[in-house]
Amino acid sequence: MKKHSIVIAGGGSTFTPGIVLMLLENLDRLPIRQIKFYDNDKERQDIVADACEIIMKEKAPEITFVKTTDPKEAFTDVDFVMAHIRVGKYKMREMDEKIPLKYDVVGQETCGPGGISYGMRSIGGVLEIVDYMEKYSPDAWMLNYSNPAAIVAEATRKLRPKAKVLNICDMPIAIENLMVKILGLKSRKDMTVRYYGLNHFGWWTSILDKEGKDLMPELKAHVKEHGYSVNFDEAGQHVDNSWRDTFKKVKDVYALDPDTLPNTYLKYYFYPQDEVKKADPEYTRANEVMDGREKHVFGECKKIAANQSTEGSTLEIDEHASYIVDLARAIAYNTGERMLLIVENKGAIANFDETAMVEVPCIVGSNGPEPITQGEIPRFQKGLMEQQVAVEKLVVEAWEEGSRQKLWQALTLSRTVPNGHVAKELMEELIAANKTYWPEME
């Protein structure tokens, strides 16, 4: 098998060490000759890269390792760009979450005003990486899992329509892993799923095992009582309280449509007041991450660099990120892997906007994804999705045109925002907070 060259864009991310460990664990499935890190924050990237270099020397010394802030060096001679950038880092995520909460509106990094704010920052950064890839390695594919995936996917569709970009999200994978625990299966690959929606906004309509047995009744019975909650300690998963609450809340989301099983993020759209009520406006998820995962990962990286050894390290393989290897293999070796991807609708959902970026199962080969048609969808989901797609498209138009008007419309249209007055006040505060990251808004 051909050995590949990969650049991880967002080399300073707290997720990067777990992804490197995962790639090294899967070298028999996806052989690698070179891994590069690219980030525009040298200091942050150095912390992660210096540790990852030692990890690679110990586990796969034959792989060439490069860390750089130079786009030409990073994007020349690569087969895959794995992108997970966070423009503005956790400090701006904190703003995305805390500013809406001042108005009793959901403060969340990918949903509502926070997601719109983050999207307006991410578009330029992601397009820049697409342009570097096309300039220096025009045959490469970009596997993009930068958030907010829905807005980023719409931006790449509209503004870089010919680019070889695949937009993916790990949330359905994480939920399917919980389903596996509920069902007592070994792997989510023991299930064949049908699913439709938008990113962070979708529903499972069918889940079969490999023999064709319907697994939905057993899952629905569990979800009706417990949501997606399982005994996380027994399952060997370290899950903080905010995620445990999210998995429990699925019970209420499911009740709105017991014919399907929902994505966890729908709670923000169906029960926004509940989320605001239990949020701490002084200490949001961003603070949890900065005090938790960020401190842990950076601390471990610094220890590895100081000891020049991984002995005693508690850095973990990012198991659920193995879908990235599945996707890269599908492209490299034409495997025909069945995967959930965010793709242009083009009839995959028969009674829905052709140009919407929808999340549906696809068969993936060397030419990219072929969406599996889901037929017509019910009025309830269709109405919700049309409203949300309009928000996403307005955000991209607002970014492209520097339009305050369209941004105001997007915020007003979001199910999480109560009215146009609140949307306007929120918008002005978000514009001020994002001055150095957003285009000039007129």
Cα gap 362→343, rounded to integer Å: 9
Contact of 301 with 18, CB cutoff 8 Å: no
DSSP run (H or E) holding 4:
strand 4-9
Q: What's the longest Cα–Cα distance across the chain?
A: 59
With CA atoms as reference, report the closest residue to 140 among 52, 9, 22, 11.
9
Please give the full DSSP string across 43-54, using - where no structure is assigned.
HHHHHHHHHHHH
Please give the full DSSP string across 230-292, using - where no structure is assigned.
--TTTTT----HHHHHHHHHHHHHHHH-TTSEE-GGGHHHH-HHHHHHH--TTS-HHHHHIII
Q: Out of 38, 145, 265, 268, pick the active-site residue.
A: 265
Contact of 147 with 200, CB cutoff 8 Å: no
> 360 forms bridges with which residues in the sheet?
341
Name the one residue in this structure whose structure tokens are 């990969």: 6
CA atoms within 13 A on the CB side of 127: 19
Concerning whether 170 is annotated as a catalytic residue, the answer is yes
Cα gap 304→79, rounded to integer Å: 29
Contact of 232 with 390, CB cutoff 8 Å: no
Collect all residues with Cβ–Cβ distance below 8 Å to 116 and sequence separation of at least 6: 151, 391, 395, 407, 410, 411, 414, 430
Q: Out of 39, 46, 96, 170, pick the active-site residue.
A: 170
Residue 340 tokens, joined: 């959930």
Concerning whether 271 is annotated as a catalytic residue, the answer is no
Cα gap 389→415, rounded to integer Å: 12
Contact of 180 with 188, CB cutoff 8 Å: yes
Cα gap 338→349, rounded to integer Å: 17
With CA atoms as reference, report the closest residue to 119 among 69, 158, 80, 81.
158
Angle at 294 between CA 123 and CA 129, to 5 degrees: 25
Positions marked active-site:
170, 265
